[in-house]
Structure 1
Amino acid sequence: MTSDVQKIHHETECVFAGIDFGTSGCRISVIDGDERELFSDSVRWHQLAASASSSTPTRQPHTDGALAADPSLWLAGLHRLMAAVPVEMRRSMRAIAVDGTSATVLLVDTTTGKVTRGCRLYNWSALDEDEDEAPAEGPRAWAMAKAVSPPGSPACSPTSSFVKCLTWLLERPLDADEKIAHQCDFVLAYLRSSEEGGPMEVVTDWNNALKIGYDCETLSYPPWLKGHRTAADPSMRATLESLFDALPPVVAPGEVLGHVAAGRVEQWSLPADCRVVSGTTDSIAAFLAAGASRVGDAVTTLGSTLAIKLLTPDPVEDAQAGVYSHRIPLSVLPPGDRSSSDPTTTDRCFLAGGASNVGCAVLVDEGFSDDELRQLSAQIDPETDSPLDYYPMRGVGERFPFNDPHRVGRLQPKPGTRKEYLHGILQGIASVEVAGYAKLKKLGGAPKAAVRRVFTAGGGAQNDVWRRMRERMLGVPVIRSEHTDSAYGAALLAKRALDRLSD
């Protein structure tokens, strides 16, 4: 377990917790009423597995990726992190929110709270070619999804929540009390459950529900999920109706769901009125953490690959390029200047995004150490263009901002110095970022989807010379995000939900 504890203010009246469940472990962030982080802690799945036995009906996992699919470890991590929070803070904790990986789902018996099937992680595919992992009904579920879902729907993917649940249903009919839950939903339901082995009320949110087919414009499950497009195939319609009956109700991210159950209140020394707040996906929580507050704000993540997200007043979609939009209630954003948002769309905005295979992974491939990156970056003039025209990408194939399955990376010609080489690579990645925001602007109908400022997360955010280069190329302010952890974003959801209750 790692820990990062700031000075504890014993006079703090209210604190709020956010917990992120990720691919390698879970993390907690505790903030005060001014949204200052007071405490953070994390634990990895393999650390939890070493001290707790698995209680799920799946084979014993051996890697962080497989351990992440063990719901008993999610709950062990929850207890470990809550116990790590100083008791003075726990006694002042007014609300808890959770985020989890997108399209990570399981089936739960809501009368007992027991996991009946799962979990299937975000990267589980119905078309897995690994003989040991390949689901027998996966190809049939995928074919059914393509037949019933609209073209371009986020539900129409071999890794979507919808296809995962269809596969389960084709493998064996659902029991009457089996309900679908995302990772985030399961943990939030556990927090509200009155007793071990007792009833569990599963509720999901707009963002987690997107890849199961939820329509974030109409805020409803669409008719096609009930099989309305399959009248000619009674068997397929019956399958969809069964799945529809297992879908959880949907609320906005950042809505108060109820109170922490009395048993956990006592166990963790929480106030009796500590609330449980609906969560979101890990990527949305990270966006909230970055500081975006109004339509036109964007977040670029400069990691191994490049990902961009932009707040827009209307959804932006391009299925072929992998662009889709999450709906975000304005109430979960800070009350900054929102004058750029459409005045006719009260409490309505969308988070459009795309991901490129271009990114900082090539810097590792090309042997740039952290020290060399710092030294050479300091010698680069961010106001001057490099003559090199690079496309810094590993492998073959690109979806965004250029939909080209045959595109390959380009790092030629190599210049005479490492400084010039680095300049060309950084500029190449920035050029793809510029093209990405231009693509979103075009898809969204300029100027509605125009970027106004960019917050930066990921390892590349540390490079100030690169920030200034990108700022010049984008033509808008580029800001290094103070916070980038999803757990902090979840804590903001909890805090802002309580703010609305007191308004």
Structure 2
Amino acid sequence: MSSTAPSPAPAPVVVGIDVATAAVRVVCVDAAGRVAAQARAALPAPVRGPGGTSEQDAGAWWPATAGALRRATGELPGGGREVVAVAVSATSGTLVPADSAGTPLGPALMYDDRRAADLNSLAQKAGSTRWKDLGLTVGPTAALGRLAWCVRAYGASAVRHVLHTPDLLGRHLTGGPVPTDWSHALKTGYDPRAGGWADEVFDALGVPAALLPEVAAPGTAAGSVCRAAAAETGLPEGCSVRLGMTDGCAGQLATGAVSPGQFVGVLGTTYVLKGVARELPLDPSGAVYSHRHPDGWWLPGGASSTGGEALAATDPADLPRLDAAAADRGPASCVAYPLRRDGERFPFVSGAARGFLLGSPADDADRHRADLEGVAFVERLALERLSALGVAVTGPLYAAGGGSRSDLWNRIRATVLDRPLRVARRAETAFGAALLAATGTLHADLTTAAATMTPDPGHEVLPVPAERAALDASYGRFREELAARGWL
């Protein structure tokens, strides 16, 4: 008689979920960091109205997430049974009021909603000592004020929970309440330094303490996938649900920058610098603020008001020609601060800041080169700001975002910084969430997970020695002009 050998069990994988503004993205990753399957599902566009309101149908989150999970797990060799853990990351500060069963009472209030600016101003005053010790400023769009707004708008008897996006999805995945992570909770009034909520602030705002959930570190086990969620998603019943982090933090983890001294410069629409420090840096200006690392270190960083949008007026089809011409030209003959909006928030804070151009460019390639250099000058100033706060940045700077696809821009940045850039192979939020799902499941800790699952650190870009002196001189003019205008 012949016998057929049983098929080998499929390799275990973890799932990372990114709930962004426009879509849900799901990625399934094995222990070596190989993507086994992925899927996405669209979300309804936020509805933005007068007074800075910004809302989205929170009822759309779970159907979109379940659908994307079903498609992704359906592509896996084992049909999803190989999934051992899942984690969710989302936009920072998005939340929704809910009843005792966790059902939304209305639309989600998005991360950029400004309706509670007056309550956030009150929260800043009520917790001024705490925020100073934490190095945090409660801005107009902080989730803290929106939480208080929900209590006032819906009534304390109706609002039994105020849920961040992963909290709501965690309820669907596990069939019950889950803790929130200290990353999503930061802008809602959680103090990761003291390890508790800002009680004096919530007392001042009239928010019942019972509304505030349990908080745990990202990567912590929050429950298991329930039978109903397994049927909807293709995830195996009983697989671990782990806590995630906000989208920016998860994107940083995805690059592999998870250990003290490692930083990543994300050049997207704006420029964002994030990294890891052993101690909490305190910036009196509020330009730099810190999330807490899953292992207890700190994640200082900031977001500039300029970045890739410096090129917004340029036809994308013309960028290769301009890059080539600017590369042939060498350092620009003029100095630009390509700020296309009013006010700067990092590496300095000034509502009066405006873009400027020192000198007259010889042609469009010269001006293009000046804009690229100007963003690199902002990046250098950002690193100098961190240094002044006692934060060490060691080794190459990781580079991510759309701007890092420009070889010319990378060479300019490396030369202005006088340090190599390491262009990250991955920086997706969903992949970072997968690393957190792998923490304590596929790997012992986050450091091991990152080292194993991001083995390719990306290619390195070195400074151009021949251009260093000219760019140093232009940076000097740039910094002097900022100081002369009273912004530094």
What TM-score, normalized to structure 2?
A: 0.81
- Residues in 1 aligned to 2:38 and 2:442: alpha-carbon distance in whole angstroms: 22
Distance 1:315 1:378, change over 3 A: same
| Preserved contact between residue 254 and residue 427 of structure 2 (Cα < 8 Å) | yes
Question: 2:56 aligns to what SS in structure 1?
Answer: coil
**Letter in structure 2 aligned against 1:426:** L
Is residue 166 of structure 2 the alignment partner of residue 220 of structure 1? no
Q: Specify which of 464, 469, 480 is matched with residue 412 of structure 2.
A: 469
Partner of 1:106: 96
Is residue 74 of structure 2 the alignment partner of residue 84 of structure 1? no
| Preserved contact between residue 383 and residue 469 of structure 1 (Cα < 8 Å) | no
| Preserved contact between residue 149 and residue 156 of structure 1 (Cα < 8 Å) | no
| Preserved contact between residue 116 and residue 178 of structure 1 (Cα < 8 Å) | no
* Cα-to-partner distance string for 1:388-433 (whole Å, 9 max, x where unaligned): 2110110222122232221211135342233222221111110110
Is residue 376 of structure 2 the alignment partner of residue 430 of structure 1? yes
**Letter in structure 2 aligned against 1:144:** L
Partner of 1:489: 432
Is residue 355 of structure 2 the alignment partner of residue 409 of structure 1? yes
- Residues in 2 aligned to 1:176 and 1:275: alpha-carbon distance in whole angstroms: 31
**Letter in structure 1 aligned against 2:111:** Y
Q: Specify which of 288, 296, 305 is matched with residue 261 of structure 2.
A: 296
- Of stretches 489-498 and 266-275 in structure 1, the one that deviates more from structure 2 is 266-275
Question: 1:181 aligns to what SS in structure 2?
Answer: strand
Partner of 1:340: none
Distance 1:356 1:501, change over 3 A: closer
**Letter in structure 1 aligned against 2:281:** V
Q: Specify which of 24, 27, 30 is matched with residue 26 of structure 1.
A: 24
Partner of 1:343: none
Is residue 272 of structure 2 the alignment partner of residue 272 of structure 1? no
Partner of 2:57: 70
How far off is 1:455 after superposition? Answer: 1.5
- Residues in 2 aligned to 1:290 and 1:278: alpha-carbon distance in whole angstroms: 19
How far off is 1:116 after superposition? Answer: 2.5
- Residues in 1 aligned to 2:253 and 2:296: alpha-carbon distance in whole angstroms: 15
- Aligned residues between the structures: 431
Q: Identity over aligned residues, as a percent?
A: 28
Question: 2:333 aligns to what SS in structure 1?
Answer: coil
Partner of 1:356: 304
- Structure 2 matches for 1:22-61, cutoff 5 A? 22-46=20-44
Distance 1:201 1:469, change over 3 A: same
- Structure 2 matches for 1:152-231, cutoff 5 A? 152=132, 154=136, 156-175=138-157, 178-193=160-175, 200-225=176-201, 227=203
Q: Which runs of 5+ in 1 are unaligned?
A: 1-8, 50-59, 128-137, 194-199, 228-235, 330-346
| Preserved contact between residue 182 and residue 217 of structure 2 (Cα < 8 Å) | yes
- Structure 2 matches for 1:310-325, cutoff 5 A? 310-318=275-283, 320-325=285-290
* Cα-to-partner distance string for 1:147-201 (whole Å, 9 max, x where unaligned): 31225564722221211111222335422870221111111121000xxxxxx31
| Preserved contact between residue 27 and residue 431 of structure 2 (Cα < 8 Å) | yes
* Cα-to-partner distance string for 1:259-284 (whole Å, 9 max, x where unaligned): 10012224444333311111111111
| Preserved contact between residue 66 and residue 232 of structure 2 (Cα < 8 Å) | no
- Residues in 2 aligned to 1:224 and 1:488: alpha-carbon distance in whole angstroms: 37
| Preserved contact between residue 99 and residue 184 of structure 1 (Cα < 8 Å) | yes
Distance 1:378 1:210, change over 3 A: same
* Cα-to-partner distance string for 1:297-336 (whole Å, 9 max, x where unaligned): 111111221111121111223363432100112xxxxxxx
- Residues in 1 aligned to 2:233 and 2:112: alpha-carbon distance in whole angstroms: 34
- Residues in 2 aligned to 1:305 and 1:293: alpha-carbon distance in whole angstroms: 22
Question: 2:282 aligns to what SS in structure 1?
Answer: coil
- Residues in 1 aligned to 2:317 and 2:12: alpha-carbon distance in whole angstroms: 42
- Of stretches 216-225 and 375-384 in structure 1, the one that deviates more from structure 2 is 375-384
How far off is 1:453 after superposition? Answer: 2.3
- Residues in 2 aligned to 1:410 and 1:262: alpha-carbon distance in whole angstroms: 59
Distance 1:12 1:464, change over 3 A: farther
- Residues in 2 aligned to 1:316 and 1:392: alpha-carbon distance in whole angstroms: 28
| Preserved contact between residue 390 and residue 428 of structure 1 (Cα < 8 Å) | yes
- Residues in 2 aligned to 1:426 and 1:317: alpha-carbon distance in whole angstroms: 30
Partner of 2:480: none
Question: 1:115 aligns to what SS in structure 2?
Answer: coil
| Preserved contact between residue 103 and residue 182 of structure 1 (Cα < 8 Å) | yes
* Cα-to-partner distance string for 1:105-151 (whole Å, 9 max, x where unaligned): 112224x2311244211111135xxxxxxxxxx63x34531331225
Distance 1:11 1:475, change over 3 A: farther
- Residues in 1 aligned to 2:8 and 2:276: alpha-carbon distance in whole angstroms: 37
**Letter in structure 2 aligned against 1:355:** A
- Residues in 2 aligned to 1:165 and 1:245: alpha-carbon distance in whole angstroms: 13
Q: Specify which of 239, 246, 249 is matched with residue 284 of structure 1.
A: 249
| Preserved contact between residue 155 and residue 210 of structure 1 (Cα < 8 Å) | no
Question: 2:276 aligns to what SS in structure 1?
Answer: strand
**Letter in structure 2 aligned against 1:421:** R
- Residues in 2 aligned to 1:245 and 1:258: alpha-carbon distance in whole angstroms: 21
Distance 1:376 1:245, change over 3 A: same
- Residues in 1 aligned to 2:165 and 2:42: alpha-carbon distance in whole angstroms: 16
| Preserved contact between residue 70 and residue 232 of structure 2 (Cα < 8 Å) | no
How far off is 1:382 after superposition? Answer: 9.1
Compute the RMSD of aligned alpha carbons: 2.9
Partner of 2:460: none
- Residues in 2 aligned to 1:381 and 1:157: alpha-carbon distance in whole angstroms: 40
Distance 1:390 1:321, change over 3 A: farther
**Letter in structure 2 aligned against 1:170:** R
- Residues in 2 aligned to 1:142 and 1:357: alpha-carbon distance in whole angstroms: 21
How far off is 1:383 after superposition? Answer: 11
Partner of 2:4: none
- Residues in 1 aligned to 2:55 and 2:427: alpha-carbon distance in whole angstroms: 21
